[in-house]
Amino acid sequence: MTLHLPILILLVLFSGALFIPILSKLGTRTPWIIAVASSLLAFCLCLFLLFEVLEVGVIHYALGGWAPPIGIELVADRLSVFVSLVILGVSTLVLAHSRPSVERDNGENQVGYYTTALLAVGGFVGIISTGDLFNLYVFLEISSLASYALIGSSGKRSAVAAFRYLILGTIGASFYLLGLGFVFINTGSLNMADVAAILSEQGLDPVILIGAVLMVIGMGLKMALLPLHLWLPDAYTFAPAASSSLIAPIGTKVAAYVLIRLILGVFPTEMLTAELPLLDILGVLGAAGIIWGSVMAIPQRNIKRMLAYSSVAQIGYIALGIGLGTTFGLIGAVLHILNHACMKACLFLVSSNLETRGKGVEIEGLDASMRRDMPWSSAAFAVAAISMIGLPPTAGFFSKWYLLLGSFQEDRFIFVGVILISSLLNAVYFFRILERMYLGNPGPKGEVTASSGASGFLLVFSPVVLGLGLVLLGLGNAFIVTHLLNPMMPIAP
């Protein structure tokens, strides 16, 4: 069974998507139960796979028994399994939380929603686990099509936002596929490890360089890296609460993972940087995105839109770490993938709770009644906001700390200033909410859409777990860095 774990994880997710329509007649909650169970089982299998990788090293799984480079393989190493665990852990908590909001938005017709959600998660995990460049594109299309449907399932504005995302996402995927064609023409292979070995021997000619640039641009658009981020604010703002809670924490992080694989694993880094300043460009765009996203988040009046622009800034941190190309920079980037996924999931789940409880997501409408009526959600939001600002001992502080170390190591003092300034800007737009929640006087107790029993438990369970997780990840960051992240540097395919 151990040898088959890489494919079993994907089979669990896609089988769950298959069985939801078949078993949906058993009850209105059946789609939700299958979705949560499938994601949870996949997470447990992935955790077991991590222990195997730590013990025996990289695991290669040849699909159908066809050895690479002819056949397609799945690769389980420390980086891929680590990111897969992040994706599956967050998706399990989000799906567990989603039933009240999906029932509100979709009524009893939940089959399509949960089927699509599992397809999206399966596509994301497939992107991370594949060792084949074209198979990565296939999983990219699966996850993208599912994401478009999830985002556009809540009326006219969400449909328009999803259509814009579809157009720009298709352009990004086309750039990646075109670049892949250039690479295949010159190497005759699609296997990541094989392509890396061939390029190390023959070098990078202009055709390969064009292919690399096209693939990086395509992933930059999927990652919403400035200035390729135009699809993101509307998509996160107008998507249903459950969809934004699922897509926002993990969708762009998968594209960031692909960038790490391409630049630091497939294309020989020294050769690539000698010919093209890709890492420098990524670092500059990341720094610009940090400032732009933070500034644009300040005047927003809608919490979801504020969080959307905040995501542009947080993606910039990851790009900045990749652009540094140092051990500290890469540790900061990968650690921020984990931290931001947890932080943003917690914040979007609390915004979903506000909608479910009938309070709305307009910042001006918030007051201390949120603290009174939703104490656990308010506490989780406060912890996630503090982590986003980067205050110790929360997780957000430590990923920024490693980015600062990487910037000092490379004498990029402008990046140091960007990180410090952005933390102050983060404090501006988060503290205005925290001030309303904790320093103001609650208004008269009015009508709220109450949720009790199982639904009430679901509303607070996932945000509280994520909030506590942010503190524990901060306190345990040394263990994560020492035993998981340090051994995977420098990153190899």
**More confident of the two residues 355 and 298:** 298
| pLDDT confidence of residue 493 | 35
Cβ 104 vs Cβ 356: under 8 Å = yes
- Tokens 């994560």 map to which residue? 480
pLDDT of 353 strictly over 50:
yes
Alpha carbon separation from 192 to 134, 182, 186, 257 (Å, rounded): 10, 14, 14, 14
Determine what percent of the chain is predicted with pLDDT higher than 70: 94
| pLDDT confidence of residue 15 | 93
Structure tokens at 29: 């909650």
| pLDDT confidence of residue 95 | 93
| Most confident by average pLDDT, 107-116, 140-149, 450-459 | 140-149
How many Å apart are CA 16 and CA 38, to the nearest integer?
Answer: 6
pLDDT digits (tens, 9 = 90+) for 355-382: 877 777 788 877 777 878 788 888 999 9
Neighbours of 24 (CB within 10 A): 20
- For 59: left if phi > 0, alpha if psi spans -120 to 50, otherwise beta; the answer is beta
Tell me which H or E stretch contains 214.
helix 206-223
What DSSP assignment string belongs to 71-96? Answer: S-EEEE-HHHHHHHHHHHHHHHHHHH
How many Å apart are CA 272 and CA 215, to the nearest integer?
Answer: 13
Is 492 strand, coil or helix?
coil
pLDDT band at 453 (very low <50, low <70, confident <90, very high): very low
Structure tokens at 15: 């089988």
- 27 Cβ contact list (under 8 Å, min separation 6): none
The HSE-up count of residue 28 (CA atoms within 13 Å, CB side) is: 8
| pLDDT confidence of residue 29 | 84
Q: What is the mean pLDDT of the chain?
A: 87
**More confident of the two residues 417 and 445:** 417
pLDDT of 240 strictly over 70:
yes
Structure tokens at 347: 């914040």
Is 405 strand, coil or helix?
helix
Supply φ then ψ for residue 358, to 5 degrees. Answer: 80, 15
pLDDT band at 19 (very low <50, low <70, confident <90, very high): very high
How many Å apart are CA 377 and CA 66, to the nearest integer?
Answer: 50
Cβ 290 vs Cβ 320: under 8 Å = yes
| pLDDT confidence of residue 445 | 58
pLDDT of 417 strictly over 70:
yes
DSSP tag of 448: -
| pLDDT confidence of residue 385 | 92
Question: pTM for this one?
Answer: 0.92
Cβ 346 vs Cβ 331: under 8 Å = no
Here the contacts of 143-146 (C-beta below 8 Å, separation 24 or greater) are 143/119, 143/251, 143/254, 144/169, 144/170, 144/173, 144/222, 145/119, 146/116, 146/117, 146/119, 146/120
Q: Where are the domains of the chain?
A: 281-493
Is 109 strand, coil or helix?
coil
pLDDT of 441 strictly over 90:
no
Neighbours of 347 (CB within 10 A): 30
How many Å apart are CA 11 and CA 45, to the nearest integer?
Answer: 11
How many Å apart are CA 233 and CA 305, to the nearest integer?
Answer: 6
How many Å apart are CA 473 and CA 200, to the nearest integer?
Answer: 38
Cβ 290 vs Cβ 313: under 8 Å = yes
Residue type, 229: H
pLDDT band at 450 (very low <50, low <70, confident <90, very high): very low
Supply φ then ψ for residue 191, to 5 degrees. Answer: -75, 130
Structure tokens at 266: 């497939």
pLDDT digits (tens, 9 = 90+) for 299-340: 988 899 999 999 999 999 999 999 888 889 899 999 999 999
- Tokens 């920079």 map to which residue? 329
Q: What is the mean pLDDT of residues 142-168?
A: 88
pLDDT band at 442 (very low <50, low <70, confident <90, very high): low
Neighbours of 381 (CB within 10 A): 27
Cβ 411 vs Cβ 320: under 8 Å = no
